[in-house]
Structure 1
Amino acid sequence: MVYQKARERRRFLLKLLEKCKKWISVWEILPLLSILAVNCLVYWGSSVLTADRYHFDFTFAFDRAVPLIPEFVWIYILAFPFWAVNYVLAAQRGKKTFYRFVATDLLVHLMCFIIFMAVPTTNIRPALAGDTLSERVLSLVYIMDGGNMPSNLLPSIHCYVSWLCWRGLKGAREIPVWYQRFSLVFAGLIIISTQVLKQHYIVDAIAAVILVEAAWRFFAKESRYQKIMDMFEYWNRKIWKEKMGDN
C-alpha cells in the first residue's frame, strides 16, 4: 500500500512536470532545489552558529555618506523573482554551461559560509522617521532580516546572487541581448539598493562581485565542475528515469 501511494505521488509529480516542461526541464529541478536548500542552510545556519559571538561592523566613511533612499526597497524585493527567472534561464545555455553556473553558485555559497563563520558582521540600521509606504515596507524588511541585529553581511548574498544572474547569461546566444543588458542594469540596481537601504555596506558588495567573478573563472575548465555535473546527472536519472533528456 505504501509503495503504491509512493508510485501514485511520483506519477502525479511527473504529470505536473510535463505541464511545466515548457518553462523548465526536468534535469534543472534538482540543482535548483539544491541551491535553494544550500542558501537557507548557509544563511540561517551561520546566523544561529554565530549568534553569541562578537560581530564586526565594517562601516567606512563612504557608507556614512550614502543617503537612505527607502523607495529602493521595491528594487530590493523584486530581486527575488529576478533571481528565479534568471536561474531558470541559465539552463537555456545547455547543460555544461548550466552546471558551471551551479558549481559557481555552490562554491560562492561555501565561501560565504566560511566568511560568515570566521568574521561575523553586523551594522547599525537607521531609524525610519517617515510613514510612507516604502518606509513601512522597508521596516518590515528590517524586521524579517535580523531586526536591530542583522548578520551575515560580508559578503552580500543579495549582491552575489544578483551579479551571478547577469554573469550566467552574459554572451548567451540563446538569451536575447536586450535581456542580458537588462539583467546587468537590474543587478546593478539591486546592488545599489543594498547600499541606499543600509542593508549592506560597500565592502559587502565588492566582496560579493569578486567572489562570483573568481569562481566563474575558476570553473571555466569543464574538468573543475565535472564531478558536480556527474553527481546531479546520476541523481536525476535515479529520480526521473525516463523523463530525463539531453537538453
Structure 2
Amino acid sequence: MAPDKDTKLAKYRPLLWILIIPLLNICYGLLNHEGSRVSNLMTELDAQIPFVPAFIIPYMLWYPFIMVMLIVIFRKSEKTYYQTLITLCVGLVVSYVIYYFYQTTVPRPPVTEHGVIPSLVRFIYMTDQPYNCFPSIHVLTSYLVWKGSADCEDLSFISRSLISVMMGAIVLSTLFVKQHYILDIAGAIFIVQVLYYFTGKMLPVKLRVQNKASINKPLNE
C-alpha cells in the first residue's frame, strides 16, 4: 500500500473509538427487564399526546443518524468529535446507572393494524422492552450530536437545518410511539448539558498535556 494512502487511513483511525458505543450498549440489554420496583413518570400532558405509528420511521433512523453525525463532526472538528464522543459514552454510563437504581416504564398501546408501519412498531416493541426509559438514550444522543454539530463552524445553513429537523423528529418520535415521557426527554437534555460543558472544560487540558509530551519527546525515540 502506498505511503500516502496509509497516511490518509491513519487520519481516520480516531473513528474506531465509535466501536465503544455498541460495547456499552450491552449494558442496556442486561438492564432492560422488569425489576422489583418500577416507576411511572407520566404527566397530564403525556396523557394528551396521541399515539402516531408513522413516527416509528424517524425513531428507527436514530442509530444511522448518530453514526453519520459522529463522522461529520469528526471531519469538521476533531476536538469537537472527541468532546461529543466522550460525552456520549459517559452519558450512556450515567443512564445505565440510573436504570439500575431507578427503573421506569412506559405502558404501550395495542397495535392491531396491519401494514408496514404497524409491523415496524410491533418489531420495536418486541425487541425493546418498556423499561430503561429515564433518561431517553434516543434523545440524549440525538440532542448531543446536534449540539456537537452546532460547534462545527463551517457547516452550511442547509446542513444545520437538516440536522435540526432530524433531531427534532427523533425527539418527538419517542413521545408519539409511546417509548418515552416528557420527563425522560428533559432528563436526557439536562445530562447532555452538564456533561458536554465539563467535557469541554477538561478536554483542552488533556490535549495540551499530550501536545507538551509530544514536543518534549526525544527525536531518537
* Paired amino acid for 2:145: C
SS in 2 for 1:168: helix
Unaligned ranges ≥5, structure 2: 211-221
Q: Any unmatched runs of 5+ in structure 1?
A: 1-10, 12-16, 231-247
Q: Say if 2:152 is the partner of 1:172.
A: yes
Q: Does 1:27 align with 2:14?
A: yes
Please state if 1:218 is matched with 2:198: yes
Query: TM-score, with normalisation over the residues of structure 1?
Result: 0.75
1:42 Cα offset (Å)? 3.1
Report what 1:46 is aligned to: 31
Kindly provide the CA deviation profile for residues 153-187 of structure 1, in whole angstroms up to 9, marking residues without a partner as x. Answer: 00000111111121111041343232122111211
Aligned partners of 1:99 and 1:225 also within 8 Å: no
1:36 matched to 2:19? The reply is no
**For 1:43 and 1:145, how far apart are their aligned partners in 2?**
10
Q: Report the secondary structure of 1:221's partner residue.
A: helix
**Paired letter, 1:180:** R
Q: Which residue of 2 aligns with 1:154?
A: 134
Residues 1:64 and 2:64 aligned together: no
Structure 2: distance between partners of 1:37 and 1:225: 27
Q: Is the 8 A contact 1:154 1:203 kept in 2?
A: yes
The letter of the residue matching 2:29 is W
8 Å Cα contact 2:73/2:81 also seen in 1 = yes
User: Amino acid of the residue matched to residue 12 of structure 2?
Assistant: S
What is the TM-score normalised by the length of structure 2? Answer: 0.84
| 2:35–2:103 CA contact under 8 A, matched in 1 | no
Runs of 4+ in 1 over 4 A off after TM superposition: none
- What is aligned with 1:234? none
Supply the AA of the counterpart residue of 1:28. L
Q: CA 1:100 to 1:205, structure 2 compared with 1: closer, same or farther past 3 Å? A: same
